[in-house]
């Protein structure tokens, strides 16, 4: 990607200038734009509420303290964050939403979902999925992409995710050690209970592995960004997350983890760090003897689905074929958002299972247009994070921003793999990482553009 393309991704327009025969890139800003960038706001109510909502989303305190359900703390925090963003930006006479094609595509997806509701297999059910799940996830995506506009805020959000991952992982490990298991219907084979025993984003072992896999790359870059106690905490989060992912016995969790590992090796090679790559490979070679009994056999059912005694691998493969057939039958409109389960029941009998593939969910529910919009959004978020990484590499002062961009890229690759095995099309998982990608671009606009201004002022 060219420098001009990177500037476009970060929202800057540049011209070459030469000092001492060396070309460098200086943003062209008006006086008004300069003042807007160098003015640093104080404590942001919207940002504090966004952090609170993220903690509530991941840790579900209302599941442990039922009285909090009466207060509806998640709704309260989200409402304060959205209202705060609107008020703060209006007072400063700035756009409520920074210009972003990613947010535009997400809104296009929502609009397409709304347009298909009248033709849905169950319009009332589609409305419920749209309101209860999809709009909430897209609103969170918008908040992340609009409120986080500095490296400092990105660091705080990264630490929020990583610190929340510690109790999630610790609970999974604790459930394994204490024998708190879920029955699989197969004698002698059990799965650990999730974080909240069925509720929340990590209520079952597969979803727990998914969330930890998405946060793990962020924890990994914090190891390189920090020193002392902070680094020790980040390392602990990485190790606990790795252990918990394995102990979930999630096949999708393993494949997602493997994809993250391959992507990380590619990043290390790209950044010319062969020593770190070799060290990582040696570390992985030490892992097999530490794996719990039965884990390798569980992974064997990925390639040999007939060997899965639980029947889940066979059922999911059959569901995949049914879903592909439904996409072929309804390639444009689909069956309506959230209605893949009903449509599949009509095709192969009432098993009341969703297709465990987010891409096929979009295809079945919203047709090929919905699927293409989602893939476009996913790819654009990855390219945005990659562009920010390249842009930040121009100045060592933006090392942290570049590392955070790497973490988001790896997390997006992890989701790309995980989405093939989870029915998570309309939930928060993807939109959390995608929102961070948009936040990276906004931070690039603010922090990187600010550097030449700071030099000229001093």
Residue 30 inside a domain? The answer is no
Nearest to 442 by CA among 397, 398, 384, 379: 384
200 is a domain residue: yes
In a domain, 352, yes or no: yes
CA separation for the pair 403, 151 (Å, rounded): 11
pLDDT of residue 24: 28
The number of distinct structural domains making up the chain is: 1
- Contacts of residue 236, defined as CB under 8 A and 6 or more positions apart, other chains included, come to 166
Residue 165 inside a domain? The answer is yes
Q: Choose among 142, 154, 373, 172: nearest CA to 253.
A: 172
Q: What is the pLDDT of residues 171-219, one digit of tens each?
A: 999 999 998 777 666 666 778 888 876 667 898 999 999 999 999 999 9
Distances in whole angstroms, Cα of residue 80 to Cα of each of 44, 48, 53, 175? 11, 9, 10, 35
Q: How confident is the model over 64-87, as a mean pLDDT?
A: 93
**If you average pLDDT over every residue of the chain, what do you get?**
86
Domain ranges, residue 245: 3-11+41-457
Determine the angle formed by the axes of helices 340-348 and 358-392, rounding to 10 degrees.
Answer: 140
Using a cut of 0.95, tell me whether the model's pTM lies above it: no
* pLDDT tops 50 at residue 458: no
In a domain, 18, yes or no: no
Confidence of residue 455 (pLDDT cuts 50, 70, 90): very low
What is the structure's pLDDT at 188? 60
Q: Is residue 235 assigned to a domain? A: yes
Residue 19 in this model has a pLDDT that exceeds 80:
no
121 SS3 class:
coil
Residue 285's pLDDT is what? Answer: 85
Question: Buried b vs exposed e over 201-235: b needs ≥16 C-beta within 10 Å?
Answer: bbbbbbbbbbbbbbbbbbbbbbbebbeeeeeebbe
- Specify if 415 maps to a domain: yes
Q: What is the pLDDT, as a whole number, of residue 42?
A: 54
Q: What confidence tier does 69 reach under pLDDT thresholds 50, 70, 90?
A: confident
Whether 20 maps to a domain, the answer reads no
């Amino acid at each position: 990607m060219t420098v001009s393309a990177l500037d476009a991704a970060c929202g800057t327009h540049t011209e070459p200038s030469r000092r001492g025969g060396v070309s460098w890139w200086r943003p062209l800003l008006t006086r008004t734009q300069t003042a807007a960038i160098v003015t640093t706001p104080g404590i942001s109510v919207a940002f504090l509420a966004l952090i609170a909502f993220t903690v509530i989303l991941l840790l579900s305190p209302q599941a442990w303290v039922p009285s909090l359900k009466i207060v509806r703390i998640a709704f309260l925090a989200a409402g304060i964050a959205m209202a705060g963003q609107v008020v703060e930006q209006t007072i400063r006479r700035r756009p409520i939403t920074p210009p972003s094609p990613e947010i535009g595509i997400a809104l296009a997806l929502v609009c397409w979902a709304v347009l298909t509701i009248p033709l849905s297999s169950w319009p009332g059910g589609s409305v419920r999925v749209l309101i209860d799940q999809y709009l909430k996830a897209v609103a969170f995506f918008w908040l992340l992409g609009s409120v986080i506009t500095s490296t400092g805020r990105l660091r705080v959000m990264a630490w929020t995710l990583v610190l929340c991952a510690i109790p999630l992982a610790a609970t999974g490990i604790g459930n394994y050690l204490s024998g708190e298991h879920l029955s699989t219907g197969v004698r002698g084979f059990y799965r650990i209970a999730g974080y909240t025993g069925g509720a929340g984003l990590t209520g079952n072992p597969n979803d727990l592995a998914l969330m930890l896999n998405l946060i793990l790359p962020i924890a990994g870059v914090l190891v390189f960004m920090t020193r002392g106690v902070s680094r020790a905490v980040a390392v602990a989060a990485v190790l606990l997350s790795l252990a918990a992912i394995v102990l979930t016995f999630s096949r999708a969790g393993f494949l997602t983890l493997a994809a993250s590992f391959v992507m990380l090796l590619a990043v290390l090679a790209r950044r010319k760090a062969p020593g770190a790559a070799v060290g990582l490979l040696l570390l992985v070679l030490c892992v097999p003897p530490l794996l719990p009994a039965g884990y390798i056999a569980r992974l064997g059912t990925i390639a040999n689905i007939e060997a899965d005694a639980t029947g889940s691998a066979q059922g999911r493969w059959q569901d995949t074929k049914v879903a592909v057939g439904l996409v072929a039958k309804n390639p444009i409109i689909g069956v309506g958002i959230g209605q893949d389960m009903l449509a599949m029941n009509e095709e192969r009998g009432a098993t009341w299972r969703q297709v465990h593939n987010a891409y096929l969910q979009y295809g079945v529910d919203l047709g090929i247009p919905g699927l293409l919009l989602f893939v476009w959004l996913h790819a654009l978020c990855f390219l945005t994070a990659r562009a920010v990484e390249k842009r930040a590499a121009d100045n060592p002062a933006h090392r942290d921003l570049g590392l955070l961009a790497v973490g988001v890229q790896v997390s997006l690759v992890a989701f790309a793999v995980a989405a093939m095995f989870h029915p998570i099309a309309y939930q928060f998982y993807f939109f959390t990482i995608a929102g961070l990608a948009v936040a990276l671009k906004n931070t690039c606009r603010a922090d990187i553009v600010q550097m030449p201004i700071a030099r000229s002022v001093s």
